[in-house]
Amino acid sequence: MMEAAAHFAPPSLSWRAVSVWRRNFMVWRKFAIPSILGNLADPMIYMFGLGYGLGSLLPQALPAFGGGSYIAFLAAGTVCASTMNAASFEALYSAFARMHVQKSWDAIMNAPISLDDIVLGELLWTAAKAMLSGIAILIVIAVLGLTHSPLAFWAIPCVFLTGLAFAAPGLIVTALAPSYDFFMYYFTLFITPMMLLSGVFFPLEQLPTAFQAVAQVLPLTHAVALIRPLLFGQVPDMAWLHIAVLATITVVCYWIALGLIRRRLLS
């Protein structure tokens, strides 16, 4: 019991996390271009397929879509969903590979770096990588003329925050995973339903009220509520509330993930 309390002791945060971040960046840099293009392909297929295909069936300038085209509405949702996916893949598959398969974290702990530093470094790296994938889509959106407002630049820190809010729960799953197969449950039970319930493809208001209530506790809902207005050139309603929800998810899940990872690796 004492041990359990020790594992869930508060994280000790330090700048040493940067060297872990930097290690991952150094690996990413070797394959940066294919990695960005690879991350871009999937969301682009959805965005153009649904945006132009489905969008052409819909009347233009529906109030439900913020008064713009469906593709502009969908594009903003795609930025959020793609950030979520990028963060989840990194925090699950890639972090698991480093933790469990390659034993990279064990090696780092032989140096003067603590597990707290490692997990913080992984969290920040995952969010940064997800942000890069979000920015790539933002650039496509801007080039296509689907956003015009300088407020869109504010979407970048929001994308980073979204990355954090998905990196941290992802690390919890990684901490518990016996093998890669385990991750499928997280994607099918959590990530995919969230994509449909958070206002990515259609406005939340279209859902039955019970589902709308569920949507309020999903991180992706808050990411969409922050980022879509910014791309439309509006200041989001209740921005601080959405920021606070995403930040709280990050902190609480990081703490839990760290406790579980300490228990897994430091026993």
Partner 1 sequence: METLNQPLVVTDLHKRYGGREVVAGISFALARGECFGLLGPNGAGKTTTLRCCLGLTGPDSGSISLVGEPIPARAREARARIGVVPQFDNLDPDFTAAENLLVFGRYFGIDDAAIRARIPRLLDFAGLSSKANAQIRELSGGMKRRLTLARALINDPDLLVLDEPTTGLDPQARHLIWERLQGLLAEGKTILLTTHFMEEAERLCHRLAIMDEGRIISEGTPQALIAEHIPVSPSPLRPSNLEDVFLKLTGHELRD
Interface residue list for partner 1 (CB under 8 A): 3, 6, 16, 19, 22-23, 26-27, 102-104, 106-114, 266-267
Instruction: Report which DSSP code applies to 10.
Output: P
- Shortest separation between residue 47's beta carbon and partner 1, angstroms: 31
How many CB atoms are located within 10 Å of the residue 80 CB? 30
Instruction: Report which DSSP code applies to 205.
Output: G
- Shortest separation between residue 22's beta carbon and partner 1, angstroms: 7
CB 55 within 8 A of CB 78: no
Extract the runs of DSSP E, i.e. beta strands, from the chain: none
- Rounded to whole angstroms, how far apart are CA atoms 250 and 157? 14
Output 4 or 143, the one with its CB closest to partner 1. 4
- Shortest separation between residue 160's beta carbon and partner 1, angstroms: 24
- Shortest separation between residue 24's beta carbon and partner 1, angstroms: 9
> Which residue reads 């300038």 in tokens?
61
Output 33 or 41, the one with its CB closest to partner 1. 33
Output 111 or 241, the one with its CB closest to partner 1. 111
CB 220 within 8 A of CB 80: yes
Enter the tokens of residue 10. 């508060």
Q: Which amino acid is at 101?
A: V
- Shortest separation between residue 66's beta carbon and partner 1, angstroms: 43
Output 42 or 106, the one with its CB closest to partner 1. 106
How many CB atoms are located within 10 Å of the residue 248 CB? 12
How many CB atoms are located within 10 Å of the residue 54 CB? 14
Output 27 or 217, the one with its CB closest to partner 1. 27
